[in-house]
Amino acid sequence: MEIEMTPQVWFEKWCRDERASLSAILVRMEKGEMRTYATDPGGELLDVSQEMMATKRASIEELNGIIAKIDAEKL
């Protein structure tokens, strides 16, 4: 039995997949396996991993809220 891929179904799947992806990246960053760098205006290399981890955590929390609303609507 195949589920019809309506825009709502597609969006729910995307939210869940995006959350899983961000969570996997965040785990690797927290373990120090991944680093994120940027350059300042003077061309010096800066480690911005902490800022990126905070951004990913915020995105995961936002997706959790969206997914909770979707799940509540199904009840």
* Of 48 and 74, more confident: 48
Which residues, 6 or more positions from 39, have their beta carbon under 8 angstroms from its beta carbon?
45, 46
The residue assigned the tokens 């300042």 is 40
User: Can you give the pTM of this predicted structure?
Assistant: 0.83
pLDDT band at 1 (very low <50, low <70, confident <90, very high): low
For residues 58 and 14, is the Cβ–Cβ distance under 8 A?
Answer: no
pLDDT band at 57 (very low <50, low <70, confident <90, very high): very high
* H-helix or E-strand spanning residue 31: none
